[in-house]
């Protein structure tokens, strides 16, 4: 993955926070809201950007969000890119 190829899903602090939270397993909306500190409206909009689907029990939402294999792979590639950039910066760092 190159800098110019970073997926849109990884270009938002809140979306990155959601993805990081989902790495440990599925989460309910309220749990994600508590973990990220986001408002309900903002979190809902960001989850829409991540291709999430709402589920309902009767008229009440009952959605559990999961990180799919594609999302996990994209996140892993993003972390690897950041690690390589840090390593490159360390190599280019002038000695004091």
Q: What number is the average pLDDT over the span 77-96?
A: 84
Gap between the terminal Cα atoms of the chain: 32
d(CA 8, CA 21): 18
Predicted pLDDT at 1 = 63
User: Residue 56, SS3?
Assistant: strand
Higher pLDDT, 74 or 50: 74
Alpha helices by DSSP H, 11-95 = 13-22, 29-36, 40-49, 69-92
pLDDT tens-digit readout, 23-55: 999 999 999 999 999 999 999 888 887 766 667
The two tokens of residue 81 are: 């890119």
- Measured at the alpha carbon of residue 69, what is the angle toward residues 68 and 71, in degrees to the nearest 5? 65
């Amino acid at each position: 993955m190159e800098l110019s190829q970073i997926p849109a899903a990884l270009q938002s602090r809140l979306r990155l926070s959601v993805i990081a939270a989902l790495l440990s397993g599925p989460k309910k909306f309220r749990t994600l809201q508590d973990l990220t500190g986001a408002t309900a409206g903002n979190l809902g909009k960001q989850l829409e950007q991540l291709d999430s689907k709402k589920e309902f029990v009767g008229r009440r939402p009952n959605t559990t969000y999961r990180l799919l294999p594609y999302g996990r792979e994209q996140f892993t590639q993003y972390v690897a890119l950041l690690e390589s950039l840090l390593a490159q910066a360390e190599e280019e760092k002038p000695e004091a």
